[in-house]
């Protein structure tokens, strides 16, 4: 993505029925260079650049053959996977509907459902080389509660990754300010050769989101 100068602010026409918060969100979207670039590049969301930037830094998609995208909607991350690893088999899951993506199998279901792991594994036809999770729980406005709800999703994603990954595989998940909880970080370090936290440039500066990147899965015997 071009990191050139930002266009002069696009002014938002006033709407009597628009709330202050929604107006601020829309104003930010209109003036966000990543949103504009996503439209130009054909990506469904600005989040695509978060994965692209993490891939450039950590080489996540190099040589991958099977990839799981947890929380796939609206599909930007899987679009990046398809562009950078066109031969890879990609499977995604989300509660929200996701428009079809060529070469991607999509399940519209709850990842926390008992049937979800088997559905994902069945569609992969082999162990994944990379498990991606951009999942976040719906917020209730209470920072500690929101953090705990999202970390519950991360813990489930970690369990899935450790149970399914091929040796040498990788895991990426969205966490929030403070990074990965101590106990979960210990589990990751025990099962992966390297564990790091990163905030890609495409993450908004005022956002508390970070990503944990675990690489070099040691195999199930390590767990």
Summarize the annotated binding site for S-adenosyl-L-methionine as residue ranges. Answer: 75, 77, 94, 110, 134
Residue keyed to tokens 């994965």: 51
Catalytic site residue from 36, 50, 62, 174:
174
- Catalytic residue status for 174: yes
Cβ contact 109:95 at 8 Å: yes
Distance CA 3, CA 67 (A): 29
Residue keyed to tokens 């508390």: 208
Known binding-site residues equal 75, 77, 94, 110, 134
SS3 content of the chain, % helix, strand, coil (to 5): 40, 20, 45
Distance CA 215, CA 223 (A): 15
Neighbouring residues of 58: CB distance < 8 A, sequence distance ≥ 6: 170, 196, 198, 213, 215
Q: Which residues pair with 172 in a beta bridge?
A: 132, 213
Residue keyed to tokens 């695509």: 48
Across the chain, which distance is largest between two alpha carbons, in Å? 61
118: tokens are: 């088997």
Neighbouring residues of 53: CB distance < 8 A, sequence distance ≥ 6: 200, 201, 202
Q: Which amino acids are annotated catalytic?
A: 174
């Amino acid at each position: 993505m071009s990191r050139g100068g930002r266009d002069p602010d696009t002014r938002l026409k006033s709407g009597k029925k628009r709330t202050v918060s929604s107006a601020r969100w829309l104003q930010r979207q209109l003036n966000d260079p990543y949103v504009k670039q996503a439209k130009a590049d054909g990506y469904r969301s600005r989040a695509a650049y978060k994965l692209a930037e993490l891939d450039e830094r950590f080489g996540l998609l190099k040589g991958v053959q099977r990839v799981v995208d947890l929380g796939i909607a609206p599909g930007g991350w899987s679009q990046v996977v398809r562009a950078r690893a066109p031969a890879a088999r990609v499977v995604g899951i989300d509660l929200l509907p996701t428009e079809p993506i060529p070469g991607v199998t999509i399940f519209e279901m709850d990842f926390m459902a008992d049937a979800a792991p088997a559905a994902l594994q069945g569609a992969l036809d082999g162990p994944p080389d990379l498990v991606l999770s951009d999942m976040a729980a719906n917020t209730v406005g209470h920072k500690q509660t929101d953090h705990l709800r999202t970390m519950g999703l991360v813990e489930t994603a970690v369990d899935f990754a450790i149970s399914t990954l091929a040796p040498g595989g990788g895991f990426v998940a969205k966490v929030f300010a403070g990074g990965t909880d101590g106990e979960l970080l210990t589990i990751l370090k025990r099962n992966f050769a390297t564990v790091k936290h990163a905030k890609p440039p495409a993450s908004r500066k005022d956002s508390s989101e970070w990503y944990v990147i675990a690489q070099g899965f040691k195999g199930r015997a390590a767990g």
